[in-house]
Structure 1
Amino acid sequence: MTVIERLKTLFNPEPVTLQLDDIQALILRSRPEPYVGLHAMLHIDDAAGGRALLGRLSAHIPSAAGWTEDRDAWIGVALSHAGLVALGLPDASLKSFPLPFQQGMAARAAQLRDTGSNAPEHWDAAFKPGTCHVALTIYARDDAALALAVARAMAELDAAQGVTLVATHRFGADADAKNPFGFRDSISQPAVAGSGVPALPGQERAIAAGEFILGEPSETGAPVAMPEPAVLGRNGSFVVLRKYESDVGAFNDFVRANADGEAAQEKLAAKLVGRWRSGAPLVLAPEHDDPALGADPQRNNGFDYAADPKGLMCPHAAHARRLNPRDSQLTILTDVNIHRIIRRSSTFGPKWTPDVTAADDGRGDRGIFFIFISARAYDTIEFLQQEWINRGNFIDLGTERDAMVGLHGDEPGSFTLPQQPARRRVQGLTTFNHLKGGEYLFMPSLSALRWIADAGWRESGG
């Protein structure tokens, strides 16, 4: 059963409290398995032309009211602050957005720890400051459906005046939905209160909708501050987009150098990630992979770390445990629920194979678009980058960085494997994912897109 099929069986319209018909479907709708898609980056040269394009595109964007329905393809649209400026929004509205969004991702490099090889001067041209005004994403079930959806979107773009297509990037994965390193991806997703889907196995409860949807009560009981006027902010959300080029060969070489034999290498790889390549969590399958468990959405996220306080099954430093500590005891007190995110990441490039070596890296043909949605997106990504990814104090590991997405720089890093009687530190970690660009984005509601398209602030005197 796929993710969408499972959600369809669980969806109940009775407890729905969200205005689903105004929320972009991409916020709540999981990608298909298998999936293909396209990211397109647009630059607005003429405000009126850009607004007209948004108006036409809005007719092709499905709402979350049908997020459990079968669809061959769907589209989502998000805007950068520079894009909102180019569209002509009034100054009062522009200043009502969070400061990190106003500044943009490149200007926040210091807060994001995007230094060295990850610094903005090394990013792709499409992500240079002020370049990406509109990010358009299309997900589809297969190449034929994608071709039709792309043709519709490009027809609208061709008819637009004053809008430039800066770049496109194809992505996709087969039914295993694995990332460039061969691991099943985006398994752990929060249940959103009021969406019609209850908390699933492994989830204590649904997370307050305001952690993801602007205008709704958050985990604190009050809504997160949103852009003004309300028609612009309500039912929207914020998006973090980061494009990574993956050094799959370096990862394979590291695993081979530090474990003897295929079984030991697979286990070390699983320890680095926190799951086996099938998606089976280490705390439920500590000794060997369990593909049936990994493929079962009713079980593959149904766990916590209560039975593994020392990290003997799943190391505290494992990527999955770092970014979702669940009930782990943390050295630095943190409310995990206000750092929950909805993942919409997309893989590109050849499928993982064990024979790839470091000699095959550096071509830019393998990687991942790390994309997530949250009402606190910018606070969350900067917290994650500073505390959970590029430091280890919160799990009493000092300067030890995330093995998978940490930036190790000129000094190779280490990875701590709790063992009995003494822990083992594996040395020689290098950076496996190199940042090639990104942007802070705002995903408006459907009514907000129409308000922007119609320059609604003129009618309201803004």
Structure 2
Amino acid sequence: MGILSDLAARFRRDRATLALDDIQALILRSRPEPYVGLHAMLHVDEAAGGRDLVRRLAPHIPAAADWTGELEAWTGVAISHTGLAALGVPEASLASFPVAFRQGMAGRAEQLRDVGENAPAHWEDAFRPGTCHIALTIYARDDAALDAAIGRAMGEFDRSHGVTLVGTHRFGADVDAKNPFGFRDSISQPTVAGSGVEPQPGQERAIAAGEFILGENSETGAPLAMPEPAALGRNGSFVVLRKYQSRVGAFNDFVRAHAPEPAAQERLAAQMVGRWRSGAPLPLAPEHDDPALGGDPRRNNAFDFAGDPRGLVCPHASHMRRLNPRDGQLTILTDVNIHRIIRRSSTFGPKWSADVTADDDAAADRGIYFIFISARAYDTIEFLQQEWINRGNFIDLGEERDPVVGLHEAPGTFTIPASPVRRRVDGVTTFNRLRGGEYMFMPSLSALRWIGDAGWQG
């Protein structure tokens, strides 16, 4: 059963309490598997022309109401702070957004630990500060559906004026939905309370809708601060977009250097990620991969770490356990539920192969757009970058960094608990290099119309 069919089986419209007709589908609807798609970055040169394009695009953005529908493709639109300003949104509204959003991702490089080779000075032109005003993302089931959706979107672009296309990137993955390193991706997704979808068997409870949808009650019992007026902020959310170049060959070389034969190499790679390549989690498949488990959305996320407090099965330092500790014991306490995110990441470039080496990395256009949605998006990404990714204090590992997405300015270490003595694997480098990104706001469908019609003018 695929992700979309599993969601359809768990969806009950009569249980939904959210304004699904006003929420962009991309927030609550998972991508298909397999999937193809396009990211397009636009710059607004002239406010009236930009609003005209937003107005034209709005009818093509599907709502989250029809979970069981058979959409062939769906489009999402997000706008940066400089984009909202370029569209003419009044200063009072611009000032009501979070400080981090107003400063933009490049302006928050220190808080994000985007330094060295990940610093904004090295980003691609489309993500230079103030360049990406509107991000248009299209997901589709196949190339024909994607081409049709691109034709509709670009047709509206061609009929508008005052907007420049500054970058596009096609992406896609096969039915296994694997990332550049050959691992099934975006498995762990929170269930949003009020969406009409029940949690999967074994999954933690549904997370309060206000953690993802502005205007709804959050885990604190009250709504989070919302951009003003309500016509702009309500039923929207925030988006973090980060484009990474994946150094797959360097990763392959690393596991080959530290494991003697293919089975041991696969095990080390799984320990670094927390799952086998099929998606089977180590807590449920501790000895070997289990593709049937990895491909089953009703089982591949039904676990916790309660039975593995020492990390003997799934290392505390693994990427999966760092970014979703679940019920694990943390040295630095935090409420895990306020750091849950909806992942909409997308893979681009050639499929993973064990034959790829570091010598191949420079020439390969291979990587991932790490995209996530949360009403606390900027607090969350900055917390993740500062604590869970680029430090290890919260799991008693000092300055040890995430072995997959951490920035390693000097070769680092990956710690594998064992009895009687833990193993430390040295020589971890930066396997995912940041090529750019931006903080975005994903308005509701009514807010897109409000922007397109310059609703602030009365």
Aligned equivalents of 1:303, 1:101: Cα separation in 2: 35
Aligned equivalents of 1:203, 1:430: Cα separation in 2: 33
Shift of 1:200: 1.4
Partner of 1:15: 15
Question: Structure 1 364/91 Cα, relative in aligned 2: closer, same or farther at 3 Å?
Answer: farther
Partner of 1:443: 442
Aligned partner of residue 20 in structure 1, secondary structure: coil
Q: Contact 2:11 / 2:67 at 8 angstroms: preserved in 1? A: no
Kindly provide the CA deviation profile for residues 281-319 of structure 1, in whole angstroms up to 9, marking residues without a partner as x.
Answer: 000000100000001111000000011000000000000
Q: Indicate yes or no: 2:360 matched with 1:340.
A: no
- What is the one-letter code of the residue matched to 2:413? S
Q: Indicate yes or no: 2:427 matched with 1:433.
A: no
Q: Indicate yes or no: 2:278 matched with 1:281.
A: no
Q: Contact 2:280 / 2:293 at 8 angstroms: preserved in 1? A: yes
Aligned equivalents of 1:124, 1:261: Cα separation in 2: 38
Query: Within 5 A, what are the aligned runs for 1:136-151?
Result: 136-151=136-151
Aligned partner of residue 355 in structure 2, secondary structure: coil
- What is the one-letter code of the residue matched to 2:275? R
Aligned partner of residue 114 in structure 1, secondary structure: coil
Aligned equivalents of 2:118, 2:247: Cα separation in 1: 14
- What is the one-letter code of the residue matched to 1:425? R
Partner of 2:456: 457
Q: Contact 1:243 / 1:368 at 8 angstroms: preserved in 2? A: yes
Aligned equivalents of 1:7, 1:267: Cα separation in 2: 31
Q: What's the % identity of the aligned pairs?
A: 76
Shift of 1:201: 2.5
Kindly provide the CA deviation profile for residues 229-259 of structure 1, in whole angstroms up to 9, marking residues without a partner as x.
Answer: 0010000000000000000000000000000
Shift of 1:399: 0.2
Shift of 1:363: 2.6
Aligned equivalents of 2:332, 2:396: Cα separation in 1: 9
Q: Contact 1:201 / 1:303 at 8 angstroms: preserved in 2? A: no
TM-score (normalizing by structure 2): 0.99
Kindly provide the CA deviation profile for residues 145-199 of structure 1, in whole angstroms up to 9, marking residues without a partner as x.
Answer: 1000001111100111100000100000000000000000000000000000112
Aligned equivalents of 1:254, 1:407: Cα separation in 2: 16
Aligned partner of residue 192 in structure 2, secondary structure: coil
Shift of 1:66: 1.3
- What is the one-letter code of the residue matched to 1:337? N
Partner of 2:399: 399
Partner of 1:204: 204
Aligned partner of residue 54 in structure 2, secondary structure: helix
Shift of 1:364: 4.9
Q: Contact 2:7 / 2:67 at 8 angstroms: preserved in 1? A: no
TM-score (normalizing by structure 1): 0.99
Aligned equivalents of 1:289, 1:159: Cα separation in 2: 51
Aligned equivalents of 1:142, 1:8: Cα separation in 2: 20
Q: Indicate yes or no: 2:164 matched with 1:174.
A: no
Aligned equivalents of 1:255, 1:183: Cα separation in 2: 15
Aligned partner of residue 65 in structure 1, secondary structure: coil
Shift of 1:277: 0.1
Q: Indicate yes or no: 2:133 matched with 1:133.
A: yes
Partner of 1:122: 122
Q: Contact 1:212 / 1:375 at 8 angstroms: preserved in 2? A: yes
Partner of 1:368: 368
Query: Within 5 A, what are the aligned runs for 1:41-56?
Result: 41-56=41-56
Partner of 1:378: 378
Unaligned runs of 5+ in 1: none
Aligned partner of residue 104 in structure 1, secondary structure: helix
Q: How many residues align?
A: 458
Q: Indicate yes or no: 2:257 matched with 1:257.
A: yes
Q: Contact 1:29 / 1:68 at 8 angstroms: preserved in 2? A: no
Aligned equivalents of 1:32, 1:86: Cα separation in 2: 33
- What is the one-letter code of the residue matched to 1:110? E
Unaligned runs of 5+ in 2: none
Runs of 4+ residues deviating >4 angstroms = none
Aligned partner of residue 283 in structure 1, secondary structure: coil
Aligned partner of residue 105 in structure 1, secondary structure: helix
Shift of 1:451: 0.4
Aligned equivalents of 2:220, 2:170: Cα separation in 1: 39
Query: Within 5 A, what are the aligned runs for 1:225-374?
Result: 225-374=225-374
Shift of 1:432: 0.1
Question: Structure 1 213/389 Cα, relative in aligned 2: closer, same or farther at 3 Å?
Answer: same
Aligned partner of residue 66 in structure 1, secondary structure: coil
Aligned equivalents of 2:221, 2:160: Cα separation in 1: 43
Kindly provide the CA deviation profile for residues 335-392 of structure 1, in whole angstroms up to 9, marking residues without a partner as x.
Answer: 0000000000000000000000000012350000000000000000000000000000
Question: Structure 1 364/356 Cα, relative in aligned 2: closer, same or farther at 3 Å?
Answer: closer
Q: Contact 2:184 / 2:279 at 8 angstroms: preserved in 1? A: yes
Shift of 1:67: 2.9
Partner of 1:418: 417
Partner of 1:96: 96
Aligned equivalents of 2:102, 2:180: Cα separation in 1: 32
Aligned equivalents of 1:157, 1:265: Cα separation in 2: 48
Aligned equivalents of 1:212, 1:165: Cα separation in 2: 29
Aligned partner of residue 21 in structure 1, secondary structure: coil
Shift of 1:441: 0.0
Kindly provide the CA deviation profile for residues 1-59 of structure 1, in whole angstroms up to 9, marking residues without a partner as x.
Answer: 10000110110111111000000000000000000000000000010010011011001
Shift of 1:202: 3.3
Q: Contact 1:188 / 1:301 at 8 angstroms: preserved in 2? A: yes
Q: Contact 2:247 / 2:431 at 8 angstroms: preserved in 1? A: yes
Aligned partner of residue 203 in structure 1, secondary structure: coil
Partner of 1:35: 35
Aligned equivalents of 1:172, 1:199: Cα separation in 2: 27
RMSD: 0.6
Q: Contact 1:241 / 1:369 at 8 angstroms: preserved in 2? A: yes
Aligned equivalents of 1:35, 1:381: Cα separation in 2: 25
Aligned partner of residue 169 in structure 1, secondary structure: strand
Q: Indicate yes or no: 2:61 matched with 1:61.
A: yes
Aligned equivalents of 2:353, 2:171: Cα separation in 1: 18
- What is the one-letter code of the residue matched to 2:127? F
- What is the one-letter code of the residue matched to 2:205? R
Shift of 1:203: 2.1
- What is the one-letter code of the residue matched to 1:93? S
Aligned partner of residue 165 in structure 2, secondary structure: strand
